[in-house]
Structure 1
Amino acid sequence: MRYGLIAGLLLAVAALLGVSGPAKAEPPATFAGRPTLTFVYETEANPPRYLGKGTAINWDRPGLTLDLLRELGSRLQVNLVLERFPWNRGLYLVETGEADGIFHASYKKERERIGVYPKTADGAVDPTRAIFTQAYYLHVLRGSPVRWDGTTLSGLGDKPVGATAGYSVVGDLEAMGVPVETGKIQGLNLNKLVAGRIAAYAELENMAAAAIATDAAAYADVVKLEPPLIAKPYYLLLSHAFADRDPALAEAVFETIAEINADPAFQARASDYAAADASR
């Protein structure tokens, strides 16, 4: 009794002080005797797919992908543990088998060494079983000479394009012959852009918007160039350890993601998130 009272008081004090909760959070549904899967994702926000920064997860409104996974757990009757880490750390945990999967991962050939993507019968990556599709955009300062017409990138001068370390766009830019300077997080890259250290910043649209919104005054002159730099499907990348241990369940995870995405009830949930964001 005394321990429970003390624990409750400590949680209340932590809430008042704004201290983040534990790095681990579990969806409400649990299934005794069923497998437990650990999935990891980033500590940065990517609205509406996952919300909030840091390690805590607010299950009242965690984000659309978290809602999808919570539904996946219920349909497959598996226990889910969700944890947040910096992106490269999350990839390492999947590669070593300490985590069973990571989201959202676009397809990169070299990532097949780290984990397993959904595949078609002929061995090709299967975009119909991706979690969703999102786009990278170039962000520049207002009045910048940088131009992107969907094919040609010009006006960089002698400065590189910034990108987040470990993100697939780094390789995309390098394949275009564009010099790239990486930074660990979105805010760092935006600060480089504002300071004039990079000519442009290539970032996922929603993640850039979320980072800009944290300090609208500081980033008031950051604008997004149209059209998108590149759009691609994003997947739940499963660990080789999990796929080898239970290939039937791994395949069921991929198949259930596609089923949930096609479910009108889940599509309505996506509309709810969009409406909430639009009202802000």
Structure 2
Amino acid sequence: MIAILLIVLALAAGAAVPAWAEPPARFEGRPTLTFVYETQANPPRYLGAGTAINWDRPGLTLELLRALGARLQVNLEISRYPWKRGLYLVETGEADGIFHASYKPERERIGVYPKTADGAVDPSRAIFTQAYFLHVLRGSPVRWDGTTISGLGDAAVGATAGYSIVADLEGMGVKVETGKIQGINLNKLVAGRIAAYAELENMAAAAIASDPAAYGEVVKLEPALISKPYYLLLSHAFVERDPALAAAVFDTIAEINADPAFQARASVYASGAPSQ
């Protein structure tokens, strides 16, 4: 009821509010932007696995981008690919942007992050912030005290290939073994092939919940390994082609995040309610 009331108030104030249960609107004669994201679920930011997108309830980031398309009156083509493939498409200019990308200096050769006037990455124009956690089997000797991972012995920590946490773990002096997707890494953990698994909190939770019988002994260690802002990483080709529109994309992300109507959508997802 509160979510609906906020949306009604926003409409009364003349705010641009998208239709929540529809694909992105089309605007004749306006530019088309192609965005990609990965095929694994990251609730509530994007839901479902595989290449399909359910626009009835796609996830908060998809709703943010749908609102962005409506505000800027640009056409959006959004597709799902494995993460490393998506990065390649942005690097080659075949896609205009990818989400969600945390900041890694080496990714600046792939694409463009929002920047402040002094050239620093601008977290105020990030899509959102999320955290990596260390996951172990119940009763494991592995410990994380907020500074050091101990109890690994000679075993490795698992991580998803291409994710920024790989470099973070290596910077801690930890041996890392990568797997393509969350399920592969969890299976390695359960089989004892790795001692722990570092993963984004929501993505790990979704994978564990998908098979409680298999992953019921997997537990999350506190505190978070690291929290990071996550961005829409735009391709160099797009930014060079239309720098004004690229800047408007970054600015509009910040505006939508601050919009009460979008915050109401976040409350809907947090409550687990169906699309409204």
Deviations 1:134-175 (A, max 9, x none): 000000000000000101110001100000000000000001
SS at match of 1:233: strand
What is the CA-CA distance between 1:28 and the residue it aligns to?
3.8
Question: Which one of 29, 39, 45 corresponds to residue 41 of structure 2?
Answer: 45
Q: How far apart in 2 are the matches of 1:81 and 1:210?
A: 26
Per the alignment, residue 10 of structure 1 pairs with: none
What is the CA-CA distance between 1:27 and the residue it aligns to?
2.4
Q: How far apart in 2 are the matches of 1:112 and 1:216?
A: 39
Per the alignment, residue 23 of structure 1 pairs with: none
Per the alignment, residue 32 of structure 1 pairs with: 28
Match status 1:260 vs 2:251: no
Per the alignment, residue 7 of structure 2 pairs with: none
Matches within 5 A, 1:188-207: 188-207=184-203
Matches within 5 A, 1:153-192: 153-192=149-188
Match status 1:102 vs 2:110: no
Q: How far apart in 2 are the matches of 1:168 and 1:269?
A: 28
Per the alignment, residue 5 of structure 1 pairs with: none
Deviations 1:11-51 (A, max 9, x none): xxxxxxxxxxxxxxx92410000000000000000000000
Per the alignment, residue 65 of structure 2 pairs with: 69
SS at match of 1:123: coil
Q: How far apart in 2 are the matches of 1:187 and 1:159?
A: 19
> RMSD in angstroms over aligned alpha carbons?
1.1
Q: Is this contact kept in 2: 1:161–1:199, CA < 8 A?
A: yes
What is the CA-CA distance between 1:100 and the residue it aligns to?
0.2
SS at match of 1:128: helix
Q: How far apart in 1 are the matches of 2:146 and 2:260?
A: 33
Matches within 5 A, 1:66-145: 66-145=62-141
SS at match of 1:255: helix
Letter in 2 for 1:174: E
Q: Is this contact kept in 1: 2:157–2:176, CA < 8 A?
A: yes
Letter in 2 for 1:243: V
Comparing both chains, which one has the higher relative contact order based on Cα–Cα distances under 8 Å and sequence gaps of 6 or more?
Answer: 2
Q: Percent of aligned positions with the same letter in both sequences?
A: 85
Match status 1:54 vs 2:34: no
Per the alignment, residue 223 of structure 1 pairs with: 219
Q: Is this contact kept in 2: 1:27–1:80, CA < 8 A?
A: no
Q: Is this contact kept in 2: 1:31–1:77, CA < 8 A?
A: yes
Q: Is this contact kept in 2: 1:115–1:239, CA < 8 A?
A: yes
What is the CA-CA distance between 1:213 and the residue it aligns to?
1.0
SS at match of 1:225: strand
- TM-score computed with the length of structure 2 as normaliser: 0.91
Q: How far apart in 2 are the matches of 1:196 and 1:228?
A: 22
SS at match of 2:63: helix
Question: Which one of 218, 230, 242 corresponds to residue 234 of structure 1?
Answer: 230
Q: How far apart in 2 are the matches of 1:232 and 1:276?
A: 24
- Give ranges in structure 1 of 5+ residues lacking alignment: 1-25
Letter in 2 for 1:274: A
Q: Is this contact kept in 1: 2:24–2:69, CA < 8 A?
A: no
Q: Is this contact kept in 1: 2:134–2:198, CA < 8 A?
A: yes
Q: How far apart in 2 are the matches of 1:124 and 1:170?
A: 23
Q: How far apart in 2 are the matches of 1:191 and 1:133?
A: 27
What is the CA-CA distance between 1:277 and the residue it aligns to?
6.7
- Give ranges in structure 2 of 5+ residues lacking alignment: 1-21
Per the alignment, residue 10 of structure 2 pairs with: none
Q: How far apart in 2 are the matches of 1:74 and 1:28?
A: 8
SS at match of 1:217: helix
Letter in 2 for 1:221: E
Structure 1 runs of 4+ aligned residues shifted over 2 Å read none
What is the aligned residue count?
253
Letter in 2 for 1:197: R
SS at match of 1:236: strand
